[in-house]
Structure 1
C-alpha cells in the first residue's frame, strides 16, 4: 500500500503531461459504476492517446490536464476512479470501459445523441493491476500456500546448516552448495544428451542446464539459480533449457518481470523450434498485452490471441475444417449433381436479369462453365481452404491431442492436394469421365499408399488413370481424416483460450500476467516447472504469482544480482527491501548458483572494468570477442577505439522545467555530434550500425531525443535508440554512447554512484563504448566513478574533448548558445521584475558565472 501511495504521488507530480482521452458517453450501470465511451486515441505526438485498461487509476475532470492546482479551483471539477473493465475485455467494444468511482455524480446528456453536453476527460495516473494480484497471493491461509512444496522450500531455506558444513571442510558456502547440487544429479539420459549435442554450449551452460534437467527428473521439488552476467548467453541458456523440456514433454511456465524480456526469450525459442523438426509451434504459447509486447511477424505464430482466432475459424461447424473436408468429398463424389445445381442457379439468374432488363451485366458474366471448368474452379477454392485449415491444425492444435493416424493423413492430404492440382492442370477436360471409372474397390492392388501413387505417376503411363487413382486415394484419406480428427465443441474465445492453456507444453508470459493461469483448471496434466528470467529484477512478493501456480514443483531462477533490481519509488518501501528479489535474497543466504562464466558480447577493452570490479574476474571473454575481426573502428582517431572516456569539462548540469530531473546541454551537443559522425561513416562505408545513447536521467534522455528528432528514422542501415539506463537493461548495440550528465565542483553524482546502475550502463556495448562526462566531477565523487576515471587514465583511454577539433567546435557552439539563452532568460526576468540597482549588473554576473565554471 505504501508503494501504491508513492506511485500516486509520482503520477500527480507529472499530472500536467499525463495521457488523457475525452469521454463522449456516460451511462450509470449500478452503484457507483459507469460505462464510458471514449474517443479514439489520436496520433502519438498528442497526449490524447490514453486507452482505458483494467485497474487503471484515473482522474475524471472537466478540463484537460494542465496543472494539478486546476483540479481544486471553482468547486467540484474532478473525481478519482478505477477502471474495472477495459475495452479488450471481450464483452465491451474497444472504445468502451467500466469505471468505478467513490460516489455518484450528475451529468447532462444530449437527448438526441446521448452524448455528454459538457466536456469530460479521463486522465491516466497509473495502474494497480500487479499490486492487486500480489495482494491476492499474500493469503497465507489459502490452499495454494499450504500445499505448495516449493513455497515451503523457499521460506525454510537457511544458510546456517550450509555454513556449519563449510566450517568442517574449510570451503566457502557456494562450494558446499555446488557440491551438494552435483551429488544429487542423475546420469543424463539419452534425450538430454541428444538435445545437448545439437547446441554449441560452453561448460558452464552445459552444467547449468544438466543440473536443472536432472533435478526435474527427481520426485522431490527443486529450486535452482543460474547467475547470468551480461553477455554470457543467458537467453540462449533459457531457450535451450526450454527446448529440453519440450523433448521431455514437461509442462513449463516461463516468466519475466517485463514484456521485453519475455518476448526476447520467446523469439529465441521460436528460432530454435523452426530450425528443428523435433519441436512444434503448437507446443508453445505466448500471452500478454499485444500492443505492449509489440507482437508481429513470426511471433503471431505462437501468440495466444492470434492462435485462438485461427482455431476458432477451424472449429466452426458450418465453415471450419470438418465442413471443408465434407465439401471436398462432395465435389469429387457428386460433381455432376453440384454442376446441375450450378446450371439451374445460373438459369434462374438469367431469367431474373431478363425480367429486370439488367443491361449493366456484361456478356462475360453470363458465360456458363463446362463441368471441367466448374470442377477445377471449385477444387481450387476448396483446396486453399483445406490447406489453410490443415496448416492451422498442424501449427496451433495441441500436438498431444492429434493421433498419429490423423497426423499422417493430414500430411498425405496436403501432398495429394498438390498432385491433384498438377493433374487437373493437364487433364481437367476429362473430369466428367471420372465418375464412370472404377471405384476405390477395384483400384489396382499395387496402389495402397501415397508412395505407391507417386511411383505409379512417375512411371509415365496414362495421365487420366493418374487422376482417377489420385482422386480415389484422396477420397480415402479425407474420409479417414474426418473420422480421426477430434474437433472440440468450442465456439467462444474464452473456452478456446482455456483449451490451449490446458494442453500446451510451454507457456510464456510476464510474472504478473501468469495470474491468468490461476483461473485455468489443468485437468489433463498439471504445470510442473517454473522458469523465471531476469529473476533479480522481480520483486519477491510479485514472484509469488507464478510460484503459487498449482502443480509447480521445480523452479529455475535466472538473473544477475549485480544489475538493476525492481523499481521502487517509496523510500519507506525501499528501506523495507520491498524491491528485493527472491534471487537476491537466496544469493545473500549462500544458496548455490551456477555461474555462466563466458561472455560473448563485449570487446575485451569494454568488459575489462566490469569483469574485474563487479565479477571478481570470474568471467572470461569468448573466442568470438577476442578475435581480431571483432575489433571495430567506426570513427578515425584513438579517441574512438573500443573503449574511451571523453572528458567534457565545459558541461553544466541543470534541472528540467519540472525540477525533478537533471540534464546537461553541452554533453547533449557532444552526443549529437558523435551520432552524426557515426551516421556519415555508416552511409559512406555502406555498413549497418546500431547505436545506443544511454543516460541515467530522463531529462537528458528527452533532450537528446528532441535534438536528434527523426533525422535517422528513414535509414534502415542505421538505428539509434535513446533510453535511460533502466530502459536499456537486457539490450545491446554495436556502439553505446553514455552521457553521465553530472558536472559540478562538489563531486556530487546522486544515484549515478549506484553500482548496479553503472554495471548495466557499461555492459550494453558490443564493439565501442564512449563515456561522455566531466572527469573532474566524477573523480571527486568517492564512488565507483572515481575508479572508472582512474582506470581509463591508466589504460590510456581518457581523452579531452579538444583532442577532436570537430567535437570541440560543436561543444563551443553549444556553450555559446547556452550562454545566449541564459542571458535572454535573465534579461526577461529583470524586465518583469522592473528596473533596480541590482539589475544593471546582469551582464557582469553572467560573465562572472562563465569564468567560474
Structure 2
C-alpha cells in the first residue's frame, strides 16, 4: 500500500520530484559538483583528515567520501551517487565515516536499508565505528550524546539490543516524556534541588514538630536521605536529557553549568559522608549559622566552609539552568516523538518505514543514503525519493550480489523486482568502485574479480600477508568446489521466513571438521 501511494499523487506523500527529475535528465547524472563550488569548497575533508586517517581508509574510500561531501556542499547540483562495494571492500567503514562527516557538517541525513535486519546492522556498525572518531567522554566530562542519531521502525519487527536503546525512537520517547513531564520532569527536579538547599532546615524543624515525642531521626541522616533522593532523580533526568537530545538543544553555557553541577553534587555527597561531620557542623555548613546556639563560640571549620561553598555553587548553577534551559514541559508522547524526529541529524529506518516521515512536519532532509541498494526495489525506493526537499541520494551496494526480490510472478514479469541501483548501472551511470577487499583470499578472489568486477579489484595488504595464507593441499578440493546436494529438503526455521536445509548443514559441518582435522 505504501508503494502504491508513493507511485500515485496520494495526499499523504509529498509531491517532491526534484531527485526523480534529475534521474530523468541524463545530463545531470555523474555531475558531482559544479565548477563554482569546486573552487569554493576545495579540499572539503581537510578539517576531518586526522580522524579519517585514524581508521585507515584507503584511497578509494576517501575519494568516495570526498565526492559525496563536495556535492552536498554544492547548492547547484542534485547528486545521485553510486558507490559500488564488492564483498569485503569496507562498505560499512566507508558509510560510517561518511555519516560521521555529514553529522559534523549538520547535514540532515536519512539512511535506509531494505529490511529491519539490514538497517539495524548498519546502525549498529555505525555506532561502533563512531567510537573511533569521537571520544566517549565529552570534553566537559559528560558522556557521549546520541541525540543527533535516531533509529525508528516497528518495535515488534526490530530486535533492539541494549546497544541500540539509546538511539531507538520508542525508548527515547519514553525517556524524554518523563523528563518533559510537568510533575516529574527537568523543571520539577531542578526546583526540588533548589528547595532542598534552601529549605532543608525548616523541613527538619517541621518533622520534629510532627513527630512530637517519638524519637526523631538525627539531622545528618535526614539530610543524607533527602539529598540522595533528590540528587539521584535530578542527575538521572539531566543525563537522560543530555544523552537523548541533540547538542543544539543546549547552549554552550548550559553545557558547562550541567557539567559543573554534576561535579558539585558529587562533591556535596562526599562531604556529607565525612566521619567528623556532626549535626551542628552540617547546619553551620548549610548556612544556617543564626539558628545554631554555639555560633558565637566556635569558629567555622574547613569542612563547614566546603559545605557552604558547595551549597552556594549548586544553588547558583541550578537557578542559572532554570532560566537557560529552553526545553518543553507538560507535553505528550506524540509531541515528543515528532520533536525527536524533527531535531535528529542522522535518521535510520527501512525504505518502507520512511513513509511515516511524509506525515510529519520535519525540516528538509539534505541526503538520502541507501545501504544494500541493489536489494531495494525501485518502486519501494520512490517512498524515500519523494521526501520533502530531498537534495542528494547516495546508493551503496553491489549488483553482483543479491538482487531485489518480489514474490509475485506477475510483479516480477512487470519489472517490479528491479532496483534503482541496478537500473542506473545498466544505463552506464558512473559508479565509484571500492576496489580493495580485506578478507577474501587471493586464490578465491581471482574468479569473481575476473567474472564480475572487470579485474579492477586489488588485494588488500591483510590478505597478502604470509599469516593470512594457509596450505590446504591436503583437502580433497581446490579454491572452489560446487557440491550438488540431491537429497536435501528445505524447512522453515522457527516462526520467521528463513529456510534451512539440514542435509546441507551436515555437509558443511563435515567439511569444517575435515579442515580442522587436516590442520590440527
The TM-score normalised by the length of structure 1 is: 0.53
**Match of residue 512, structure 1, among 331, 349, 352:** 352
5 Å-filtered alignment, 1:211-290, equals: 211-220=67-76, 221-275=78-132, 276-277=134-135, 280-290=145-155
Contact 1:654 1:663 in 2 (8 A): no
Contact 1:383 1:417 in 2 (8 A): yes
Distance of 1:665 and 1:420 partners within structure 2: 63
Give yes or no for the alignment of 1:410 onto 2:255.
Answer: no
Distance of 1:600 and 1:345 partners within structure 2: 74
Give yes or no for the alignment of 1:157 onto 2:25.
Answer: yes
Distance of 1:645 and 1:506 partners within structure 2: 43
Match of 1:10 in 2: none
Deviation at 1:316, TM superposition (A): 1.2
Distance of 1:640 and 1:386 partners within structure 2: 67
Residue 509 to residue 629, structure 1, CA distance change in 2 (3 Å): same
Residue 261 to residue 347, structure 1, CA distance change in 2 (3 Å): farther
Deviation at 1:188, TM superposition (A): 2.4
Distance of 2:157 and 2:14 partners within structure 1: 31
Return the structure number with greater relative CO, CA threshold 8 A, min gap 6. Answer: 2
Q: Which runs of 5+ in 2 are unaligned?
A: 139-143, 291-300, 493-497
Contact 2:441 2:469 in 1 (8 A): yes
Distance of 2:63 and 2:7 partners within structure 1: 35
Deviation at 1:576, TM superposition (A): 2.1
Residue 681 to residue 291, structure 1, CA distance change in 2 (3 Å): farther
Contact 1:387 1:414 in 2 (8 A): yes
Give yes or no for the alignment of 1:547 onto 2:385.
Answer: yes
Match of 2:294 in 1: none
Contact 1:311 1:392 in 2 (8 A): yes
Match of 1:206 in 2: 62
Match of 2:507 in 1: 670
Residues 335-357 of structure 1 deviation map (CA, whole Å, 9 limit, x = unaligned): 11111233345459x6xxxxxxx
Match of 2:422 in 1: 584
Contact 2:147 2:246 in 1 (8 A): yes
Partner of 2:157: helix, strand, or coil?
A: helix
Contact 1:490 1:496 in 2 (8 A): no
Deviation at 1:434, TM superposition (A): 2.4
Match of 2:42 in 1: 187
Residues 629-674 of structure 1 deviation map (CA, whole Å, 9 limit, x = unaligned): 23468xx8721899452767xx63466699xx99987655433434
Match of 1:372 in 2: 220
Distance of 1:380 and 1:238 partners within structure 2: 44
Match of 1:817 in 2: none
Residue 679 to residue 305, structure 1, CA distance change in 2 (3 Å): farther
Contact 1:517 1:549 in 2 (8 A): yes
Contact 2:254 2:324 in 1 (8 A): yes
Deviation at 1:534, TM superposition (A): 0.8
Give yes or no for the alignment of 1:296 onto 2:161.
Answer: yes
Residue 503 to residue 671, structure 1, CA distance change in 2 (3 Å): same
5 Å-filtered alignment, 1:633-644, equals: 638-639=474-475, 643=479
**Match of residue 493, structure 1, among 333, 354, 369:** 333
Match of 1:476 in 2: 316
Partner of 2:368: helix, strand, or coil?
A: strand
Contact 1:373 1:428 in 2 (8 A): no
Partner of 1:369: helix, strand, or coil?
A: coil
Distance of 1:370 and 1:467 partners within structure 2: 18
Residues 198-253 of structure 1 deviation map (CA, whole Å, 9 limit, x = unaligned): 44211111111101000011112221111111111111111111101111011111
Distance of 1:640 and 1:346 partners within structure 2: 88
Contact 1:273 1:281 in 2 (8 A): no
Match of 2:495 in 1: none
The TM-score normalised by the length of structure 2 is: 0.85
Deviation at 1:515, TM superposition (A): 0.8
Residues 477-526 of structure 1 deviation map (CA, whole Å, 9 limit, x = unaligned): 1110111112213432211000010111111101001111111102xx42
Give yes or no for the alignment of 1:423 onto 2:264.
Answer: no
Deviation at 1:194, TM superposition (A): 5.3
Deviation at 1:469, TM superposition (A): 0.9
User: How many pairs are equivalent?
Assistant: 489
**Match of residue 232, structure 2, among 372, 378, 384:** 384
CA RMSD of aligned residues (A): 3.2
Higher strand share: 1
Distance of 1:486 and 1:215 partners within structure 2: 35
Residues 125-172 of structure 1 deviation map (CA, whole Å, 9 limit, x = unaligned): xxxxxxx11111112586967543112112x133xx69xxxxxxxxxx
Distance of 2:514 and 2:307 partners within structure 1: 66
Q: Which runs of 5+ in 1 are unaligned?
A: 1-131, 163-176, 351-366, 440-460, 686-853
Distance of 1:536 and 1:570 partners within structure 2: 19
Contact 2:491 2:499 in 1 (8 A): no
